[in-house]
Each structure stands twice: as C-alpha cells, then as structure tokens.
Structure 1
Amino acid sequence: MSGPKKRKVDSECRVFKREWTTKYFFTKVRSMPVCLICQETLAVFKEYNLSRHFATKHGNYASKQSPQEREATAQRLMAKLQAQQNVFHRQTAIQETTTKASFMLSFKLAKASKPLSEGEFLKECMIETAVWELKEEIGAFLKLKGKSDEFTELSDKNWLCDFAFAVDIFSHLNELNVKLQGKDQYVHDMYTNVKAFKSKLIFFSRQISDKVFAHFATLATQKETIQNVKKYSKSLDDLHTEFCRRFSDVEKIDQSLQLVACPLSQNPETAPEEVQLELIDLQSDFVLKEKFSSLELRDFYASLNEATFPNIQRMAQKILVLFGSTYVCEQTFSVMNINKAPHRSSLTDEHLRSILRIATTKLTPDFDALAKKGDQQHCSH
C-alpha cells in the first residue's frame, strides 16, 4: 500500500487577509507571513498559525489598546520593518554594483592586456566604470559618514552632466588606444586609425550641436545635456585641434604612407617624381598585383627587383622601419629586465643582445644551415 499523500500547501490557495495586520500584527513579505513584533517568518498564510504565534509569544502586546490605537501601532511597526528592509536592499545593491564594477574593470584590463598596476589605464577604467556606476552609492556613503559637504559635486547636476560627457569621450579614446597597441603595426596602419578618430570628433561635434547623442549614451541620460551642447561641441573641436597639432609631423608624410600602403591605387601623377615611372610599371604588372594580394607588405617590397624599382623600395624601407609607438621598445626593456636577473650574473652583453633579438622577433633561424656551418667549423683535417 502506498503511504498517505503529503499535503501541497501551494495548492490550497491561501491568501493573506488585511485584518490580520491589526489582529495578530503580521504582514506579507515576499509571499510569506512576517511578524511585525519579532519579525519571525511563518511557513503559510493560515490564520490558526498566526493566532497561535501571537498568543504564545506576544499575548499581552497591545492588549489594552483600542482598535484605532492597534491600527496606529501596526502602521508604526510596518514602517519600521520597511526602513530596515530598505537599508538591507541598499547594502545589497551597493555590493552588487561594486561586484559588477569590479567585473567590468577586470574585463577591460584583460581586453587591453594591462596589469592592475598600470595606473593611468586603471584611472581611465575607474572613471568609466566604478565611479559612474557607483555615484549614487558613493553619495549615500558620504551622507552616512556626514561628509556630503566635502564632495558637493555629486549633487551638482551640471557637474554630473560634464562627468557623463567625460565617461563617453574616454570610452571612445580608449577604443582608439586599444587599436594603437600591439605588435606588427606599421605607421600607416596606426595613422589610419588616428585619421578616422579625427573625423569622428568632427562628426561627434556636429551631432551634439544638432542635439543628437547616438554615440554618447551616458550623456543622453542627463536632463541638463541640452543646455550644454555648445560647451561639449567646443570641447570636441578643441580635442580635434589638439590631435591635429600632435600628429602634424605624420601628416606631412601622409602621401608617402598611402603610397607604400596601397601602391596599386595611387595616382602616378600626384606621386613624387622619382617614383612615378616605377609606380606605372608596378601597376601594369599582373604578377606583382597578385603578389601584393597574397604577401605580407614587407615581403612584397622585399620581392621587388631592386634594379627595376629602386626608388619605391627605398621609400618602402624608410616607411616600414618607422616606429609608430613605443610598444616594441617598452616590450624589449621588459624582456631585458626579466633576463638580466641577479641569478644570471654571468650573462654577457653579447648573449643578452642575442636573447633580446630572439625574444622580440618573429623570424625563425635556419637551423639546418646553422648546424652545417657548425659542423664545418668543428671539422678537423
């Protein structure tokens, strides 16, 4: 025989009745009955359970009060419980937002391959993530500590609007920064990203002047944005001017950069005189066109006949050896510091140079040729 079936409380359709609040001092919290006096939670909405709890634990509570007084007492207890829950929810929200901010910060550090000790990048991420995400919680914390007067900016709507603009523009700058990082980037590749960003700044300025904030999502949430559009548009124009000033030297060789990067699409008439005829020969050669599509840029120029294309080769050499950033230099110093350690004191400068050359290049030695050369050197007759 099968045992007795268990009762399913959920199927009994029990609901909380409002009169139980003044009669037994209970309220409903997350579909559970909670005592307003001791805040104990019961399992089900059953009047007998509520009545027994009140009689056994709070039998004399408010026994001499009139119905109106009991109603007032119940409302006071409910307000107290609600205040306690608000504190708990606020602390939970702060913890969740802090955790979210830490995840976002870790994600950005990992994406950019930056260590936690990289101060400037970390500050930038903090502006974009933690500070903005936690601005309300920071304000609540300062108020709790009685120090709101020391940081009045958090209650200044215009300051918050400026802050929102900074968050968005730093986000765009960080995207550019990521594109400019890494190995195997030629100057023309990097300057292409810089030119694109300069064009974006002009585009952003025009859009903000027209009160369009499609690419400034944080700024779009602020009510004071409309009255500050002229200021933000001018800031973007100033940033564009500064980019033009800082990259003015590269702008002077932009034509050469484009010619080396895309020789097949350049107009020979606008090219420097010394490469015009060579450029026509190159663009007319179908074999070289196929090579340009299939080879790395440096390999393509290395494959050109030096007697036929001396000037184009010379121009390519000058452009391709330019350092677009200090990334490779910084990486080389890091590799040197790793290898030149105290426990490797017998390492000579010649050996260190060889190690650095191997560690910072993708070239693979011809081990067979080296082995044969070594055998010849050690062979005795």
Structure 2
Amino acid sequence: MASVSKKRKVDREGRRFQDKWKFEYFFTEILNNCVCLICQETVAVFKEFNIKRHYQTKHASYDKLTGNKRGEKVKQLEAVLTAQQSFFTRVHHLQLELIELQCDAEHRSRHQQLPLVNFYRQLDEGRFQAIRTFAKKMLSLFGSTYMCEKTFSVMNINKSRMRTRLSDSHLRDVLRIKTTALEPDMDYILQSRSQYHPSH
C-alpha cells in the first residue's frame, strides 16, 4: 500500500510578520496580510524569501534610499496607505448607514414628506453621521457650482466682441451685481444723489 504524503500547512508553521521587513523591504501587515507599501500588492505567505523576491524584482530602485531618507519614505508610504484605508472605511460606514436608513419605514415616509434639506437635517447625528456629512457636502457643492456657472455665463454675455471697451473693473462690478443675492435699496441710492448722470 502506497503511503499518502501529508501536505504542508503554511498556517501551522506559525509564520509572523517581522518589523524589520518594513524598513528593509517596504512591507507592512494589514489584517493578517503582508502588503507592499509601494505598489500595495499582497504577498500570500509571511516568508522573507517571498517578500525579498517581490522587493528585488519590482522595487530595486528603492535601494538607493538609506538611513533617514529610507525611514521618511516608509512613513510617507504608510500615511498614503492609511489615508486610502480610512477613505474605504468611511465609504463602508456610509453604505451600512444607507442600508439601515432604507430599511426603516418611518424614515422612508419622512423622505417622501419633507424637503430634501429638512430630511437630512432631522436625521439622528449618532446613527447617521456619515450620511449627514455626505449630504452637507453634496448640497453645498451644488450651490457653489451653480454660482460658478452663472458667473461664467454672465461674463460671456457681457464681455463680447461688440463690447471691447468694457474694462476689467466694470466687468467685475457687473458680475458682482448679477451674482449677488442682495437687493439694492434704489430709493436710498436715488435720494443720496444730487444728479443722476455724471455727464450733467
């Protein structure tokens, strides 16, 4: 009878991430995975041979960094990776809050009854913090984009080939008048003038 060979189980060998790999090979450990800080690829096994081979074949140009410069580069790459992770964590929280919001019949009815701004304003800050933050950004973005588009439209209408003598200061005044939400007090302006046209 032939003997059955036992397969090696890597997880039984007790391999762990070593801190020196971060400085030597630009690797870090994230959720029990060995991740390259430079290209963010994952090496399947916590084995120095695999990590070193990845570094030498793909990132050998980083060998010129030594001492403090190498340490600063490691910190910089770690900060980039952390920022990316926090972004995806925020997106994950937003998705979870959105699922919870969609499953709540009371909030669905309020969404249909209230104006959109009031609906987001009345959401509980503790339960729906990510949705409220996202809604604030989206609502303010529309207003600022609208004002920008309106300003460019007014500028294109006023500064045409037929009005070449329009100076920059006059154009600035026209844009300010057209894009402001304030209403001028015409009665006060007219009473404060002794003559209405500077040529008279």
Query: Quick check: TM above 0.5?
Result: yes
Please state how far the C-alpha of 1:140 moved relative to its aligned partner.
Answer: 4.3
Three-state SS of the structure 1 residue aligned to 2:35 is strand
Q: Sort the Cα spacing of 1:119 and 1:67 in 2 relative to 1 into closer, same or farther, 3 A.
A: closer
Please state how far the C-alpha of 1:22 moved relative to its aligned partner.
Answer: 1.1
Name structure 1 gaps, 5 residues minimum: 110-114, 151-381
Q: Sort the Cα spacing of 1:4 and 1:89 in 2 relative to 1 into closer, same or farther, 3 A.
A: same
Does 2:22 match 1:21?
yes
Three-state SS of the structure 2 residue aligned to 1:131 is coil
User: How far apart, CA to CA, are the structure 2 residues paired with 1:117 and 1:146?
Assistant: 18
Does 2:140 match 1:147?
yes
1:10 aligns with 11
1:90 aligns with 90
Q: Sort the Cα spacing of 1:57 and 1:97 in 2 relative to 1 into closer, same or farther, 3 A.
A: same
**TM-score, normalized by length of structure 1?**
0.32
Counterparts of 1:147-226 in structure 2 under 5 Å?
A: 147=140
User: How far apart, CA to CA, are the structure 2 residues paired with 1:72 and 1:11?
Assistant: 35
Does 2:126 match 1:131?
no
Question: Considering only CA atoms, is the larger Rg found in Structure 1 or Structure 2?
Answer: 1
Does 2:69 match 1:77?
no
Q: Sort the Cα spacing of 1:65 and 1:101 in 2 relative to 1 into closer, same or farther, 3 A.
A: same
2:31 aligns with 30
Whichever residue aligns with residue 89 of structure 2, its letter is H
* Count of matched residue pairs: 137
1:261 aligns with none
Please state how far the C-alpha of 1:93 moved relative to its aligned partner.
Answer: 0.7
Q: Sort the Cα spacing of 1:134 and 1:40 in 2 relative to 1 into closer, same or farther, 3 A.
A: same
Larger fraction in helix:
1
Please state how far the C-alpha of 1:67 moved relative to its aligned partner.
Answer: 1.9
Q: Sort the Cα spacing of 1:17 and 1:138 in 2 relative to 1 into closer, same or farther, 3 A.
A: same
Whichever residue aligns with residue 93 of structure 2, its letter is A
**TM-score, normalized by length of structure 2?**
0.59
User: How far apart, CA to CA, are the structure 2 residues paired with 1:54 and 1:118?
Assistant: 53
Q: Sort the Cα spacing of 1:6 and 1:135 in 2 relative to 1 into closer, same or farther, 3 A.
A: same
